[in-house]
Structure 1
C-alpha cells in the first residue's frame, strides 16, 4: 500500500492562481504524453506517486489525452482509485474540452452540448464527483463566446468543477471571457498558454496576454516550457530516431531550425555557468514572472521529474544573465524576421 512521503511539502513552492485563493505548485505534471494505453500502467503510477512525493499536487489532463482519446483520464482515475484515494483533498486535478473527441458535430468545439457532455464523460473516466479546474481548451469561433462561458459557469454552479479556466485564447477573447464569467458570478481563475524561451507571444501580443491576465485577476499556467524538448540537449546533434519530432502533429523537423539550435547552444552556455542544464534554465526563466502560476512538465522517467524540480533551486537571474539571454532571443527574432 502506498504511503506518501511525509516530507513532500517541506521544500515545495506554491503560487497563487491570480487573485483567487487557489495555489498550485510551481511545477505541475502534465499527462498529455506517457499516460495513454501505450505506457505500462505501473510506470504511470510510479510517475504520479513520485511527483506527489516531491510536492507536485497538480495533475493536468484533457478529455482527448491518450492514446486513445480518454485513456489518460481513465488511467489516472485508476491511479486515484487504487493508490491516491485517501489523498484526494491534497490534489488539484484539472481537465479540458475543446478539441476533437468523438465523431460528428457535437464532439468538438465549445458548444453547450459538447461542454456539458465532456465534463460528464471526464468525471466518469476519472471516477470523480468533481474536478478542481475545468478549461475550455480552445476558442471555438463557430460558437458564441457567451454560450461557452455560460456552460463553464453552469459546470461550477452544479458542482462539477470548483474553478474554470480557458486555454489557447488570445488576449481580447480572454478579457471578454472573464467579463462573461463574472456576469455569472464565476471568476476566470486560470489561463493555460504556450510559453517558452522560444515562444514568447504571451509577452509580445497586442495587448500582451500576461498583462490582460493581471488585469482580470487570472493566473497563467504555461505548457511546453521546454518547447517540446527543443530546450534540452535532445536535438543538438540531430533528430534522434523515435523522437517526438518524428511522430507528433504539433512538433516536427521543420521546427528544429539551425537558428534555433544555435540559440539553444548559446543559452546552454549561460545555463552551465549557472550550474544548470538548459532545461532547468528554461523552466526557471518562465517562472521568473510572478504572473506565471505554474509550468507544466512532462515525464517518462522519475529522474526527469527530479531534474526539472532542481530548476527551482536557482530561479533568480542576475542583470547580466538576463541581458545575455535577451541578446540571444533578440538575435533569434531578427533572424526569423529576415526569413
Structure 2
C-alpha cells in the first residue's frame, strides 16, 4: 500500500529542529543512482514530508574515498529547483584530522560542494560531529562548534561515536561557558544493536531528555532486509557480531511476517517505538525502497510499541558489547 500521509515530526533534542522521523543518508547512496532515479527519490521525499537529508563529504580518515555522493546530491537539489524551505540538512564535521582540518574550512568545503553560491544551500540546520579517535581537546571542539553556530553555518549539533566521558565533558563545558550543547546522538541502533542507545551511558541521556537519539545503520548495511552478503562497504562491525546478525535474519523475517510487515518496516518501527528516537537515518536508492520504509509508520500505529518490543526481545545481539560509545574499526 502506497503511503499517502505526511511523515510525522519529532524534535531533534533540546534546542534542535523539528524533523521528520525519517532521514535519508548520503554515504554510498546518491552515487549508486542515475540522475532520473535521484530526482525521483528526492522528489518523493519532499512530497511526503521526509526531506531531511544527511549529507557529507567523505574524504577523511577511514572515509578517504573522494566520494562524489555529496556533489550529486547538490546537483539534484538544483535540478529539481527546490526552495530552501522544502528540505532540511544535516551535515558532518569530522574529527579524524582535527584540529589541523578545522571546522570553518570543513564547512566551507562541504557547503561549496553541494552548491552554496550556485543556487544551493548556504547553511545546514544541524551537524553531526564525529567520528572520535585518539586524544582530542573536547572543550575546544565545543568552542569551535559554537564559532560555526555564531557564523550561521548551522544552529544545533549532535555527536557520533563519542566515548561517554568525552560527551560528558562536552556537556559540562557547554554549561560552564554558556555554549550550545549537543542535542542529539547519532548511534548504531536497531533490532540487533541496542546496547549503546539503551545502555548505561547514552541510554541515560536519551531517557532524561538531555539528548535525542538519531538511529543509524539500523539495517546493518542491508543484512536485516535480506541482503545477507553486502557487496558494498558497510558500517563497522562493533563487537564482532556480524555472523550472528546474518544468522538472525530468518527470525527477523518471521516476526515481520507475523505483523504483516516487511523486514524493513519492522526494523524502522522498532526504532520509532523508543520514545527517545527523534528520527531514523537510512539509505534508499529507489522510490520503492522509500515507500516500503514509509510503511513502518502504519505498522507502529497498528501493532503498538509494546508488542513490537516484546516480539523482538530475543533479537538483541550486542548485550555484551561495550556500550560507552568507544569507536571500534
**2:148 is matched with which residue?**
155
1:97 to 86, 93, 97: 93
CA deviation vs aligned residue, 1:103-148 (integer Å, no higher than 9, x gap): xxxxx43327422210111111122321111221222433211121
Indicate whether 1:324 and 2:304 are aligned: no
2:218 to 217, 225, 237: 225
**2:273 is matched with which residue?**
288
| 1:265–1:317 CA distance, 2 compared to 1 (3 A) | farther
- Quick one: distance in 2 between partners of 1:173 and 1:194? 18
Ranked by relative contact order (alpha carbons within 8 Å, sequence separation 6 or more), the top structure is 2
Q: In the alignment, is the contact (CA less than 8 A) between 2:194 and 2:319 conserved in 1?
A: no
- Quick one: distance in 2 between partners of 1:120 and 1:138? 19
RMSD: 2.9
2:75 to 73, 78, 96: 78
**2:291 is matched with which residue?**
306
Q: In the alignment, is the contact (CA less than 8 A) between 1:167 and 1:192 conserved in 2?
A: yes
**1:102 is matched with which residue?**
none
Q: In the alignment, is the contact (CA less than 8 A) between 1:110 and 1:136 conserved in 2?
A: no
Aligned residues: 308
Q: In the alignment, is the contact (CA less than 8 A) between 1:112 and 1:147 conserved in 2?
A: no
- Quick one: distance in 2 between partners of 1:73 and 1:133? 16
Answer with 66-75 or 218-227: which moved more. 66-75
Q: In the alignment, is the contact (CA less than 8 A) between 1:111 and 1:147 conserved in 2?
A: no
How big is the shift at 1:155? 0.4
How big is the shift at 1:291? 0.8
- Quick one: distance in 2 between partners of 1:335 and 1:180? 31
Indicate whether 1:41 and 2:26 are aligned: no
How big is the shift at 1:76? 1.8
**2:251 is matched with which residue?**
266
Q: In the alignment, is the contact (CA less than 8 A) between 2:197 and 2:213 conserved in 1?
A: no
**2:204 is matched with which residue?**
211
- Quick one: distance in 2 between partners of 1:311 and 1:137? 28
**2:171 is matched with which residue?**
178
- Quick one: distance in 2 between partners of 1:188 and 1:335? 27
Between structure 1 and structure 2, the one with the greater Rg is: 1
Q: Secondary structure at the match of 1:46?
A: helix
Task: Give the TM-score normalised by structure 2.
Answer: 0.83
| 1:94–1:84 CA distance, 2 compared to 1 (3 A) | farther
Answer with 182-191 or 314-323: which moved more. 314-323
Task: Give the TM-score normalised by structure 1.
Answer: 0.80
Q: Secondary structure at the match of 1:314?
A: helix
Q: Segments of 4+ in structure 1 off by > 4 A?
A: 65-68, 246-249, 318-321, 332-336
| 1:175–1:300 CA distance, 2 compared to 1 (3 A) | same
1:27 to 22, 29, 39: 22
How big is the shift at 1:204? 4.9
Unaligned runs of 5+ in 2: 322-329
Unaligned runs of 5+ in 1: 1-7, 100-107
1:197 to 191, 208, 211: 191
